[in-house]
Each structure stands twice: as structure tokens, then as C-alpha cells.
């Protein structure tokens, strides 16, 4: 089981994800994505999407946040919860759900982590990371 988040923990994480989306570099898709995660240690790390004119090398918000967490906590990093939010350039909330690559990255650090993402109507979906990626790849022997 994950460490669990109180409603106020989740609210804080969601608000940090919304803040992170404001930093997005998304001149090509105009989709501004922000992610904020809480580590098992209780720290919060954020990330935003960073696009590039060479489209495939752009990076997702979730993996940006994970990179930041690993940089700070090293191999001990475990994911407790992550919030993701996306907005149009004019600030309108747009539905978002972690992409397949990000799902694989999330379960690497916490298959039972809470994942919450913003919907267009302002509601938040909440699900375990493992439930987002059934039959996920696990390196044999791990
Ligand atoms: N994006 C994310 O940041 N996270 C996801 O889980 C899905 C997609 C970004 C990547 C790209 O900059 C933009 O959204 C459109 O695909």
C-alpha cells in the first residue's frame, strides 16, 4: 500500500501541479502540462513538459518531476503520489492522463502510488499507478 495522502496533502499536490504547468515550454502543442509528486520521504518535486523543434525529444511533465526527485533523493526515491494537470495556452483546463511511457516510469518508483489527474470539468481522477498499466513490463529477475 502507498503511504496515503490526506485530502489536504492531495490538494497541495494538485495546486503544485497547476503551478508547474505555468512553467511549461509547449510552443508546438500548446498543451501546458504540470506534474507534482510527493516522495515517500514527504518531499514534493515538480516538472513541466519541455518541447523541442525536433519533436520526439520533447519531454513529459511527469518524467521531469521524477528526474528531479531522483536527482534529490537518489536511488532511495519512492513515489507516494503524483498530480498532473494540463491547460490550453489561455488557461482553460484540458483533460489529461499520463501517457504510456510515463505510466511505465511511474510504476518503476511506486506501483501503489496515488495518481490524480485533472479533467476538463475541474474534477480529478484518482487511481493507483499499477491500475493504469496492467501487464506492465517488469525486467525479468527484478
Ligand atoms: N505530455 C505530458 O507532459 N505528459 C503526458 O502524460 C502526456 C503528454 C505533454 C508532451 C507534449 O509536450 C504535450 O503534452 C503534447 O503531447
Tens-digit pLDDT profile for residues 119-141: 989 999 999 999 999 999 999 99
Taking the C-alpha atoms of residue 86 and residue 138, their distance in angstroms, rounded to an integer, is: 29
CA angle 64, 69, 70 (to 5 degrees): 100
Helical segments of 45-138, H only: 61-73, 100-109
CATH architecture of the domain covering 7-128: 3-Layer(aba) Sandwich (3.40)
Is position 73 annotated as part of the catalytic site? no
Nearest CA to ligand 1 atom 1: 60
* The overall pTM is greater than 0.85: yes
Largest separation between any pair of C-alpha atoms in the chain: 47
Cα of 102 to ligand 1 centre, how many Å?
9
Cα of 141 to ligand 1 centre, how many Å?
31
Cα of 132 to ligand 1 centre, how many Å?
16
Amino acid at each position: 500500500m502507498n503511504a496515503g495522502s490526506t485530502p489536504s496533502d492531495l490538494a497541495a499536490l494538485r495546486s503544485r501541479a497547476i503551478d508547474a504547468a505555468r512553467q511549461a515550454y509547449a510552443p508546438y502543442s500548446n498543451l501546458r502540462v504540470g506534474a507534482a509528486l510527493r516522495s515517500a520521504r514527504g518531499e514534493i518535486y515538480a516538472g513541466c513538459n519541455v518541447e523541442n523543434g525536433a519533436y520526439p525529444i520533447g519531454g513529459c511533465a511527469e518524467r521531469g518531476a521524477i528526474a528531479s526527485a531522483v536527482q534529490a533523493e537518489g536511488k532511495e526515491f519512492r513515489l507516494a503520489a503524483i498530480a498532473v494537470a494540463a491547460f490550453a495556452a489561455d488557461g482553460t483546463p484540458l483533460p489529461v492522463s499520463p501517457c504510456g511511457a510515463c505510466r511505465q516510469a511511474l510504476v518503476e518508483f511506486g506501483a501503489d502510488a496515488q495518481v490524480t489527474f485533472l479533467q476538463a470539468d475541474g474534477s480529478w481522477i484518482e487511481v493507483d499507478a499499477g491500475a493504469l498499466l496492467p501487464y506492465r513490463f517488469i525486467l525479468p529477475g527484478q
